[in-house]
Chain A
Amino acid sequence: MLAGEGLTLWRGTRCLFEALSFVLPVGTALVIEGPNGAGKTTLLRVIAGLTMPESGSVTWQGSSLKKHLLAGRLRLAFSGHSLGLKSELSTRENLDFCARLAGLPARVGEILESTGLSNCADLDVRLLSAGQKRRAALARILLSDADVWLLDEPQTNLDTAGRQYLEQAIRAHIARGGTLVVAAHQPLDLGSTPVTRLMLGDA
């Protein structure tokens, strides 16, 4: 169970969110919505532990998420605006690196195949199209074998088949007891997945 308790964050003189709380049982998704600049990305970064909130905490099964992470009891996959891939390395090299860092069995070939990247797997990431790059970032998430996925606008630049694949991947992730927090502008078709919606506004 992923939960946020009393999260408050200011950016300069603007309050992005105040005393924000949410509870997300295992096997459910949280969709963060709101206009541009409402703080969707920032909230994701707070959950990922990349940005410190002014007050409040993010917990997993009742105790600090950070502690679970450091103890290796929990894996987190974060996909932000930037891809998290080295543009000088090929997709395969990037994924290999991620798999080795996470100490996971190399399923790189299989994942390249399923994300439709096998024909450009050995090209440097900088040579890929924007959509292919986004697919590569998705492949990194799939590879991570994480319990919690934090995705920021994952549909950006994806074509129709890519979006369907993304939705399918998310449904599979949740079906096997994963948790998802996603910031999304465009509607995501998650089928029968239990979804909580969180509207961030400039209130």
Chain B
Amino acid sequence: MAVSLRTDGAGAADAPALGLLELFRVILERDLRVGLRRWSDASNSALFFILVVTLFPLALSPRADVLRTLAPGVLWIAALLATLLSLHLLFRADLEDGTLEQLLTLPYPLGWMLLAKTIAHWIITGIPVVVMAPILAITYHLPLNALTVLTFSLLLGTPTLSLLGSIGAALTAGLRGAGVLLVFIVAPLMLPVLILGARATDLALSGEDPTGPLYLLGALLVLAISLAPIVAAGAIRVSAD
């Protein structure tokens, strides 16, 4: 067997070889591919979301006016729980199979790579929730304008939930049976998102202007995008030690 090594001297590139956008794309693409291959794991949170949302009308009341007032809270709580349910998957497997170590030895900012991983995680677990929410909400007799605001608030809010969750996932990635601990760490951080998301939908339902809470949701998203990966990167270094 011939060893195929390049012979033009030892590697030594002069600068980090990939641009940040390209780096983001490569990691996103791999994580999406892995996520789709592990479809049974990824679909858990979507199935959970459907289950919770469809159970409420059965247990409470089939009356349209009751359901309509319940809808914003129920859908938002279900989305939050579905996110919590999927978080343990975020970094655990990568820590166990050593791919996280590989990322740590690369000359790129760790937070940026974790952001790519978190966004991939949101695409796989969060987008199905955002897509299904308006369909399920029809069974709650929500009017069209409230449906739109609900979907939009979820679109702004669920990535924030995933990003906040990435902090807890990074902190507990190296711990055995840390599922409940993870929930207790991140759930309090998620409350503002829950309150604003449900409030926006509620306002739209009662015919008022929902833009205030939506703007705040957007601001939280920007804040989470800029800060959560940095915190998660610090936590991951500790977990990988």
Contacts from A to B (Cβ < 8 Å): 26, 48-52, 69-78, 80-89, 93, 97-98, 100-104, 107, 110-111, 113-116, 124, 142, 144-147, 161, 164-165, 168-169, 172-173, 176-178
Question: Roughly how many angstroms separate A80 CA and B95 CA in the complex, as a whole number?
Answer: 12
Residues in A neighbouring B97, C-beta threshold 8 A: 82-87
Contacts from B to A (Cβ < 8 Å): 1-7, 9-18, 23, 26-27, 30, 33-34, 37-38, 96-99, 101-102, 104-107, 240-241
Partner pick for B105 among A78, A107, A161, CB 8 A cutoff: A78
- Cβ–Cβ contact A72 & B1, under 8 A: no
Residues in A neighbouring B30, C-beta threshold 8 A: 86, 89, 93, 97
A69/B1 contact (C-beta < 8 A), A74-B12, A86-B30, A86-B99 known: no
Given contacts A75-B11, A144-B11, 10 further A-B pairs with CB under 8 A are A50-B241, A52-B241, A70-B107, A76-B105, A81-B98, A83-B98, A84-B99, A113-B4, A114-B4, A169-B3
- Cβ–Cβ contact B4 & A178, under 8 A: no
A141 to chain B, nearest CB (A): 10
Question: Roughly how many angstroms separate A177 CA and B13 CA in the complex, as a whole number?
Answer: 15
B153 to chain A, nearest CB (A): 33
- Cβ–Cβ contact B104 & A168, under 8 A: no
- Cβ–Cβ contact B5 & A173, under 8 A: yes
Partner pick for B9 among A98, A168, A177, CB 8 A cutoff: A177
- Cβ–Cβ contact B101 & A80, under 8 A: yes
If over half of B's interface residues share one DSSP class (helix, strand or loop), that class is named, otherwise mixed; here it is loop
Question: Roughly how many angstroms separate A71 CA and B108 CA in the complex, as a whole number?
Answer: 9
- Cβ–Cβ contact B14 & A72, under 8 A: yes
- Cβ–Cβ contact A101 & B23, under 8 A: yes
Partner pick for A97 among B10, B26, B38, CB 8 A cutoff: B26
- Cβ–Cβ contact A78 & B102, under 8 A: yes
Residues in B neighbouring A82, C-beta threshold 8 A: 96-98, 101
The 3 closest A-B pairs by CB, nearest first: A103-B17, A82-B98, A84-B98
- Cβ–Cβ contact B11 & A145, under 8 A: yes
A75/B34 contact (C-beta < 8 A), A52-B241, A104-B17, A176-B7 known: no
B108 to chain A, nearest CB (A): 8
- Cβ–Cβ contact A114 & B3, under 8 A: yes
Question: Roughly how many angstroms separate A48 CA and B18 CA in the complex, as a whole number?
Answer: 21
Question: Roughly how many angstroms separate A145 CA and B9 CA in the complex, as a whole number?
Answer: 10
Interface centre among B7, B9, B13, B33 (most CB of A within 10 A): B13
